[in-house]
């Protein structure tokens, strides 16, 4: 089983075939997916009784949560600012 947020082989191949604006949109969507996976792992860690009690582990997990959340917001804004995909003929 892949870690949460990891791209599948099919997604990587799809990204490899994409070009231009299509690539940019797909890259951002997949990076958002990847960052959300990091948040899932942090949330699972914090939901595990007795986990993340060591100070450096707790601090790292908190930093990951804050940083990844911020990056998701930034990438969502970037995605929203891109030109919409061209209609299919």
What is the domain partition of the chain in residue ranges? 27-45+53-81
Name the residue among 32, 26, 25, 23 with its Cα closest to residue 4: 32
The tokens for 13 are 């191949």
**Spatial separation of the C-alpha atoms in residues 67 and 52, rounded to whole Å:** 18
Per-residue pLDDT at 11 exceeds 70: yes
Tell me, what's the pLDDT at 84?
81
Tell me, what's the pLDDT at 1?
53
Render pLDDT for 39-83 as a digit per residue (tens, 0 to 9). Answer: 999 999 999 999 988 999 999 999 999 999 999 999 999 999 998
Per-residue pLDDT at 85 exceeds 90: no
Q: Is residue 89 very low, low, confident or very high in pLDDT (cuts 50, 70, 90)?
A: confident
Mean pLDDT of the region 5-32: 96
CB 52 within 8 A of CB 46: yes
């Amino acid at each position: 089983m892949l870690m949460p947020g990891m791209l599948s082989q099919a997604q990587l191949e799809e990204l490899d075939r994409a070009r231009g604006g299509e690539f940019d949109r797909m890259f951002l969507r997949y990076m958002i997916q990847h960052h959300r996976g990091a948040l899932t792992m942090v949330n699972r860690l914090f939901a595990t009784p007795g986990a993340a009690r060591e100070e450096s582990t707790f601090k790292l997990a908190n930093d990951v949560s804050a940083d990844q959340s911020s990056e998701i917001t930034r990438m969502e804004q970037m995605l929203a600012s891109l030109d919409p995909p061209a209609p299919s003929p």
